[in-house]
């Protein structure tokens, strides 16, 4: 899809001089209207990506197809999405590799599902559990719109994650990610579904949630000492001597918690902490 001229029926993102984005679906004979004039769809159809089109009032617009990040930030939502800065951390820290069997719960609006599906590829499998039917419908629609159809290696499922068994999945999974309000209630389920050495990550928004999941992982005594962090993203405005940080930034969205499953029967070493004075 990235190596051909624009086709009718495709979605195109127009970017103006102020970096404002407008998404349109190309229709023969169609028009994009704004206070800066009219852009004819026919001027975009058949043009190469990266083209500049000019409106009837002289405004220039850059034309590009959506990248994954554009799709995630503009798609309809039934639930809050995992933002790209956190999804990127999950892919790398979670070691999501081609061919992996990955389980996520809950699927929300499908933002993380798309990143996981691209990472594991057709050789892998992504199981996406969601307890709310309306949220799962959003996820299925958003994923299908991005890929053109639901990928064959994706298994979206409506149901309670706590009731999932290895038999439901055809065996254990390599990686497991939870995005839910009370993930600490499902530690036993995680233990049963995840292979020894497998990575378990959670995405929680508040400090009480963070404290509960960290302590629950430690109390289970079948995981490594968990790590927790948040990612703060700040862009910079670079214009000669006016170079400075942007006034607005993507600050706290959630905490990520990371740990690995131990082999059965193994007791984790007790972490050594500095003595308090």
At the fourth CATH level, which superfamily is domain 70-261? Answer: Vaccinia Virus protein VP39 (3.40.50.150)
pLDDT for the residue numbered 267: 83
The CATH code of the domain at 10-66 is: 3.10.330.20
Q: Where are the domains of the chain?
A: 10-66, 70-261
CATH topology agreement for domains 10-66 and 70-261: no
Per-residue model confidence (pLDDT) at position 73? 84
What pLDDT does residue 222 have?
94
Quote the percentage of the chain above a pLDDT of 70.
98
Return binding residues: 109-112, 130, 135, 160, 179
Q: What is the mean pLDDT of residues 40-48?
A: 96
pLDDT score for 250: 80
Whether the per-residue pLDDT at 275 is higher than 70: the answer is no
Query: For residue 3, what pLDDT is reported?
Result: 74
> Which pLDDT band holds residue 249 (cuts at 50, 70, 90)?
confident
In the prediction, which pLDDT does 1 show?
A: 57
- Residues annotated in a binding site for S-adenosyl-L-methionine: 109-112, 130, 135, 160, 179
Q: What is the pTM of this model?
A: 0.88
> Percent of the chain having pLDDT more than 90?
81
Distance of CA 16 to the CA centre of its chain: 26
């Amino acid at each position: 899809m990235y190596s051909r001229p624009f086709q009718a029926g495709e979605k195109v993102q127009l970017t103006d001089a102020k970096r404002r984005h407008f998404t349109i679906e190309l229709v023969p004979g169609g028009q994009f209207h704004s206070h800066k004039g009219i852009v004819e769809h026919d001027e975009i159809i058949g043009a190469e990506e990266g083209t500049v089109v000019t409106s009837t009032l002289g405004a220039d617009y850059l034309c590009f197809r959506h990248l994954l990040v554009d799709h995630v930030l503009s798609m309809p939502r039934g639930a809050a999405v995992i933002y790209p800065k956190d999804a990127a951390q999950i892919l790398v820290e979670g070691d999501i590799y081609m061919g992996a069997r990955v389980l996520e719960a809950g699927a929300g609006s499908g933002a993380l599902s798309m990143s996981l599906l691209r990472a594991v590829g057709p050789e892998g499998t992504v199981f996406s559990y969601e307890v709310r039917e309306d949220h799962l419908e959003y996820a299925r629609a958003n994923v299908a719109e991005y890929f053109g159809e639901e990928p064959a290696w994706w298994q979206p499922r409506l149901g309670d994650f706590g009731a999932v068994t290895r038999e439901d999945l055809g065996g254990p999974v390599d990686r497991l990610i939870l995005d839910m309000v009370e993930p600490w209630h499902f530690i036993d389920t995680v233990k049963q579904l995840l292979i020894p050495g497998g990575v378990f990550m959670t995405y929680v928004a508040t400090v009480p949630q963070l404290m509960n999941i960290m302590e629950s992982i430690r109390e289970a005594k079948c995981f490594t000492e968990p790590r927790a962090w948040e990612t703060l993203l700040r862009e910079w405005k670079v214009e000669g001597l006016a170079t400075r940080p942007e006034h607005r930034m993507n600050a706290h969205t959630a905490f990520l918690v990371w740990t690995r499953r131990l082999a059965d029967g193994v007791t984790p070493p007790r972490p050594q902490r500095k003595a308090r004075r």
